[in-house]
A and B are shown apart, each in its own frame.
Chain A
Amino acid sequence: MAKRVGMEASFAISEAVKLADTDVVAAYPITPQTHIVESLAEIVANGELDAEFICVESEHSAMSACVGSSAVGARTFTATAGQGLELMHEVLYVAASSRLPIVMAVANRALSGPLNVWGDHSDVMATRDCGWIQYFTENAQEAFDLTLCAFKIAEDPKVLFPVMVNLDGFFVSHVVEPLYLLEKEELEGFIPPLKYPFPLDPKKPVTMGAFAPPVLYSEAKKAQEEALRSTKEVILRVWKEFGERFGRSYNPIETYRTEDADTLLLGIGSFTETASVAIDELREKGEKVGLVRLRLWRPFPFAELRAAVKSAKYLIVFDRCLSLGGPGGPLCSEIKSALYPEKKKPKIFNFVGGMGGRDVTPQQFADMILRGREIIDKNIPIEYETIGVRE
C-alpha cells in the first residue's frame, strides 16, 4: 500500500530515482538542487540503490557523463539548477539530438547577475529550445510522481528523448509536504527495462555524434523535431496509465474553475497554487475567473491550450522571468504565438514577477487579474508590467 509520509520534495525525487532502479547518477551539487544529489549519494552509499554515483567536477561534466552512460544503455539521472543548467547548456543539445533518455530534475533558480540562488524560471527558459521533453511540477507529490513517469516516457521506444522535470527552487524543492510514496512491488512493470536500440558496444560498433554537413543538418533537425512533437502521445498515455494505476492523473494543461470564466489567469510551476487562492476569493465576489496551469512545456500542447482558453475574453499570463529587451516573459510570448492564428481568442496581457525568489501573494494575483483586464479594456500601450517592484 502507498504510505503517506511527510517529506521534502527533493528527497521525494531521490526516492523516485531509487524506485526506478537507476543505474547511473552523475551530478554536481548546486543550490537549490543540493538535497536531491546529497540524498542520492547517501542512498547509493547505503546500498539501497545499486548504482554508479559519479562525482564530477562541473555540470558540463555531469551532463557529459550522463550522455556517455545513457549511450551504453544505462538508466541515467542527474539534477541541477540555475547556473548549473547553463553550464550544461551545450551538452543538453547533444543529449537531445543523440536521443538519449536521460532524466534530469531542475530546481528552477534565477541566473546571475546579480548572484541569486532563489526560485525563478530564467534557467529553464534559457534551455527552452534544447530539444528535451520539459514539464513542470507544483508540489512534492507531483515531483515524485512525474519523476517516475519521466523514466517511463524517456525510455519508451517511440520516444527516446531526455526529460527535464522542473520544480520551483525552494518553493517546492525545500518544502516538507505530505505525499504518498509508492512501494517497489506496487510499481512492478510500470517502468520496463531500458532497451536502447543502438547502445555503444565494441561487438556492434556505431558512431554517435557524427557530424552532419549542410547537406544533412536540415534533415537531422526535421527528424528530431517530428520525433519530439510525436512524443506527446506517449506522454499522455504514460500519465493516463499512472492515473489508472495509482489514482493521480496528470494533463498537459490543468484547469481550475474555468467553466463559464470570462477571465483566465495562466501560469506555470508552483505559483499557480497560490493563484488558485486568488481565484477562489474573486469567485466569492462574483467574478467569473479561472486558472489555467501549463504543465507540459515541450512539446508545447497547442491543441489543449487553444481548447482551454478559447471561450475566455481575457487571458492574464504570469511569467517568473524576463526576456530582457524583448516582449516581456517567455511564457506569454509562446501563449500569444500559439493563439495568434485562432479566430476566437482572448485578449492577452502579461505580468512578470516572482523573480529571484520574490513572493507573490494571492492579493497580488487578484490585482493582476483586475489590472490586466483594465489595461486590455483601456488599450494601454505597454508590453507587460512587473509585479511588486519598488518604484
Chain B
Amino acid sequence: MPKADHEITWKELEIGCIVTEPGSASQYKTGDWKSQRPVWDKKRCIKCGICYLFCPEPCIGQDAEGYFESNIFYCKGCGICAKECPTKAIHMEQEES
C-alpha cells in the first residue's frame, strides 16, 4: 500500500472502496490485538501439527527442523493452540506493553 490507512483522504479512495491489489489483507497486522502470545517448549513438542490445524488465523507454520511456531505479525493470542496441544508444549505468556 503506497499510503497508510490513516493518511488516505476521501478523494484517494477507489470507486466503491474497491481494493485493486489482490491479497492486500496480508498487510493487515492483527498481531497487535493480542494480550498473550504462545510459546513452544521444543522438548515436549512431538510435531503432531494439532496446533497448526486448530489455529483459526491461520498463522502457525513449521521451522526448518519441523517444529511449529506462530507468526507473531498475525497471531491474535487466542490461546486455542495452547489449549489443544496434547503434550502441553505450548503455554501463553503475557505480552509486555
Contacts and interface: CB of A to CB of B under 8 A. Distances in A.
B5 A215 contact: yes
A121 to B, nearest CB: 28
Contacts of B19: 206-208, 210
B10 A198 contact: no
A101 to B, nearest CB: 11
Contact of B20 (A99, A198, A213, A219): A198
Contact of B22 (A97, A205, A227): A205
Interface residues of A, number: 23
A160 B15 contact: yes
A210 B17 contact: yes
Among B13, B18, B24, B25, max chain A CB count under 10 A is at B18
Contacts, number: 56
A317 to B, nearest CB: 34
Given A215-B6, A216-B8, A98 B13 contact: no
A223 B6 contact: no
Contacts of B9: 219
Contacts of B15: 99, 160, 197-198, 227
A220 B19 CA distance: 12
Interface in B1-34: 5-6, 8-11, 13-20, 22, 24-25
A226 interface: yes
A204 B16 CA distance: 17
B17 to A, nearest CB: 5
A222 B10 contact: yes
A213 B24 CA distance: 15
A242 to B, nearest CB: 25
B83 to A, nearest CB: 28
B5 A198 contact: no
A223 B11 contact: yes
A219 B16 CA distance: 11
A302 B29 CA distance: 44
Contacts of A198: 14-16, 18, 20
Among B13, B14, B16, max chain A CB count under 10 A is at B16
Given A219-B10, A219-B13, A207 B18 contact: yes
A212 interface: yes
A208 B13 contact: no
B10 A223 contact: yes
Contacts of A220: 10, 13, 17
B20 A206 contact: yes
Interface string A211-242: 01101101110110011000000000000000
B1 to A, nearest CB: 12
Contacts of A216: 5, 8, 13, 17
Among A99, A219, A220, A222, max chain B CB count under 10 A is at A219
Nearest to B12: A219
B14 to A, nearest CB: 7
A215 B8 CA distance: 9
Contacts of A215: 5-6
Among A100, A160, A216, A227, max chain B CB count under 10 A is at A216
B18 to A, nearest CB: 5
Contacts of A100: 16
B8 to A, nearest CB: 6
B71 to A, nearest CB: 21
Interface of A: 97-100, 160, 197-198, 205-208, 210, 212-213, 215-216, 218-220, 222-223, 226-227
Identify the 5 closest CB pairs spanning chains A and B, nearest first. A99-B16, A207-B19, A222-B10, A219-B10, A223-B10
Given A215-B5, A223-B13, 19 more contacts: A97-B16, A98-B17, A99-B16, A100-B16, A198-B15, A205-B22, A206-B18, A206-B19, A206-B20, A206-B22, A207-B24, A208-B16, A208-B19, A210-B19, A212-B17, A213-B5, A222-B10, A223-B11, A223-B17
